[in-house]
Amino acid sequence: MKKIMLAAAAVLLSVSAAQAQPAPMDMSCCMNKKAPAASMNEHELAIQAHQSMNNSSSAAHQNIIETHRKMMQEDK
């Protein structure tokens, strides 16, 4: 009985793996459309990093973004 169950499980796994379609590689969401990181200053990089953080501390990240924007204005 165990051999039959193992054989059935092996067949099901191999068939489902053969029929699985690969996920499409859409990199448009990950591409930076604004400017490459090499041309950004440290405040622009920090702003971009904090904008991507969506968690329970998002309000703190928004405050940090505003601080970096103020620092950028002072640098100009």
pLDDT (tens digit per residue) in 11-67: 877 765 555 566 666 655 555 555 566 677 888 888 888 777 777 677 888 888 889
Burial class (CB in 10 A: 0-12, 13-18, 19+), 68: buried
pTM to 2 decimals? 0.42
Nearby residues of 27 by Cβ (< 8 Å), 6 or more positions away: none
